[in-house]
A = this chain, B = another copy of it.
Amino acid sequence: MPGRLREAMLYSLEAGGKRLRPALVLSAAEAVSGQKSAFDAALPVGCAVEYIHTYSLIHDDLPAMDNDDFRRGKPTNHKVFGEAMAILAGDALLTHAFHLIARAGRSGTVCAEAALAIVEDLSRLAGAPGMVGGQAADMLGEQGMTSIGELEYIHLHKTSDLIVFSVTAGGRIGGASAVQLELLAKYGRNIGLAFQIQDDILDLIGDEMKLGKKTNSDVQQNKVTYPYLIGIEASMAQVERLTQEAKSAVLEAGFAKPDRLLEIADYLVRRDH
């Protein structure tokens, strides 16, 4: 592959970030199986979801989309490599995510049946019915979209769906039952929504240095957010409530080692970036 394409892919993959989604894949696999050895099988899928997340950031930052110049404190991909290479690097990362999962399934790292289910889940939750659909609704809604129902639709798909994928994929690798997968999905939906509302709150009251990007960008872009619709205090209470519901789902599932999933839910409320 052309070196410049590889550089563009690595530039965004290595720009840091919280690695929340891979952490969720690994933590869910450990929670269900009770064994750290589940990490080995979960790792390729954890990488895959980070590839998907990274591609979505590269494409979202493009001039035709959110037109952002900085991400994680560094110039955005298209600012460094140009728009064409940024589009292609995104396409390549998206495509390679499926390669990581398929290879894990064919090599036996993940059992073939689980790998195929994970491919199906990812292609739904990251695609038009999921993340891409949420991003499209966000794009279309910017002029005049106002209802809290529509905003929840955007958040559930743009953010929660990939988080739901992360925990259910980890669950599948750990051998979760159908009921446990449903509770993991509930946990994922709730922390995903809490995560996005917290993002909106941080955009209003956060520290630019810690965030690595400008604050008040939502206000400047006339974006409708939770704080805009229901106020900042009600938004904070909502984050708290969603976090408690997420933790309840994990406790209800009776996992062997739920600690990490509970810690991540708490971390998302407390975070300042």
A interface vs B, CB < 8 Å? 1-2, 4-6, 9, 55, 59, 62, 64-65, 82-85, 87-88, 90-92, 94-99, 101-103, 105-106, 112-113, 115-117, 119-120, 122-124, 126-129, 132-133, 135-137, 139-140
Contacts and interface: CB of A to CB of B under 8 A. Distances in A.
A122 B119 CA distance: 13
Contacts of A62: 87
Contacts of A97: 123
A243 to B, nearest CB: 28
Given A91-B59, A94-B94, A98-B98, A116 B105 contact: yes
A124 B96 CA distance: 7
A5 B136 contact: yes
A123 B136 contact: no
A83 B106 contact: no
22 contacts: A2-B137, A4-B140, A5-B132, A59-B88, A64-B87, A65-B87, A85-B139, A88-B132, A88-B135, A91-B94, A91-B127, A91-B132, A94-B94, A95-B132, A98-B119, A98-B122, A99-B120, A99-B123, A103-B120, A106-B117, A112-B116, A116-B116
